[in-house]
Amino acid sequence: MNFKGRDIVSIRDFTKEEIIHILNVAEKMFPIAKGEEKSELLHGYIMASLFFEPSTRTRLSFEAAMKRLGGSVIGFAQPGTTSVMKGETLADTIRTAESYCDVIVMRHPMEGSARMAAEFASVPIINGGDGAGHHPTQCLLDLFTIRKEIGSIEGKKIALVGDLKYGRTVHSLAYALALFKAEMIFIAPEQLQMPKEVVDECMKLGVEPEIANDITNIEDIDVLYVTRIQKERFPDPEEYNKVAGSYRIDMNLLKNAKDELIVMHPLPRVDEISPEVDKTKHAAYFRQTFNGVPVRMALLALVLGVVK
């Protein structure tokens, strides 16, 4: 399997075997990500981190990943300080940045921007989120987290909860989980339910997701994957409060959960998970956030051809 020079634009560009390989490499990176082992694997390599949109976790974890492996980072966290403000196109910004680095990580508000960047750049492009489009490294770290926390993905019962309609990252996750033959339940209010194309895509992969409007029986669920319900999706703020309230994960809901159940969230969260859940062993979301580091280390090492 050779990842050298490959772009990471969408999870759909990878086979199940390739995804497993990335997760296996990430597993080996884990102690380095923790700081328990030192590494100079990417010494002499430069990563450009081009963030045209705000980010906390993606940007910081990519930079941490590169530095933990002995590499260097250049870039910007907001386009306000660059020639983008003078009207420079993304295509020109990418062709400029690539002459200074070995790999580019980017986040951009427009969908398809990473795909376009990959066409212009000769160095690998890693998509750190393109608007409402893809966010493949989030998907990979989610898969890594499930595997690490509960041992496997196949056959596990995974509930995707919240706004399943607009967040395309949750669509990619559903696709990837179907690829791994997980059992899925899509729990969302009617107006935010998973689009039919995504359900159809899962069916094509041999997984028939269960559709539900309420979180009721959680006894046999292994993973509760919670997403943020955005206020702006509701014309009536009272309707939002009602809906958001009924999808809140709290101690009362978790009293029927099995011991091994984990709660995941891509973060940032607003009110979806009560802070009291943070102290329970169910709360996997901060470990999930950390897992961004070994997964991104694996991707950097793979696309730079330092790890096969």
Q: Does 131 bind other proteins (CB under 8 A)?
A: yes
d(CA 250, CA 256): 11
Catalytic site residue from 6, 21, 57, 156: 57
**Angle separating helix axes 136-150 and 285-303, nearest 10 degrees:** 120
Tokens 């330092």, residue? 306
Active site residue 265: no
d(CA 16, CA 155): 15
Among the listed residues 79, 129, 133, 162, the single contact to other proteins using CB under 8 A: 133
Looking at the DSSP bridge assignments, the partners of residue 158 are 184, 223
Q: Does 197 bind other proteins (CB under 8 A)?
A: yes
Interface with other proteins by CB under 8 A: which range of 52-60, 86-94, 159-167, 220-228? 86-94
In whole angstroms, the minimum distance from the beta carbon of 175 to other proteins comes to 11
How many angstroms separate the most distant Cα atoms in the chain? 56
Q: Does 10 bind other proteins (CB under 8 A)?
A: yes
Question: In the numeric block, which tokens belong to residue 85?
Answer: 């403000």
In whole angstroms, the minimum distance from the beta carbon of 245 to other proteins comes to 30
Q: Are 52 and 116 in contact (CB under 8 A)?
A: no
In the stretch 166-195, what mask flags binding to other proteins with x, by CB under 8 A?
--x---------------------------
Looking at the DSSP bridge assignments, the partners of residue 211 are 186
d(CA 87, CA 8): 27
Interface with other proteins by CB under 8 A: which range of 21-29, 125-133, 177-185, 218-226? 125-133
Q: Does 200 bind other proteins (CB under 8 A)?
A: no
Residue 61 vs 127, nearer CB to other proteins: 127
In whole angstroms, the minimum distance from the beta carbon of 108 to other proteins comes to 8
Q: Count Cβ atoms below 10 Å from residue 21 Cβ, excluding itself.
A: 18
Q: Count Cβ atoms below 10 Å from residue 245 Cβ, excluding itself.
A: 10
Among the listed residues 105, 116, 125, 126, the single contact to other proteins using CB under 8 A: 116
Active site residue 135: yes
Catalytic site residue from 86, 196, 255, 281: 86
Q: Are 250 and 293 in contact (CB under 8 A)?
A: no
Residues of the shown chain interacting with other proteins in the complex, contacts defined by CB under 8 A: 10, 89-91, 108-113, 115-116, 119, 130-134, 168, 197
Question: Which amino acids are annotated catalytic?
Answer: 57-58, 86, 107, 135
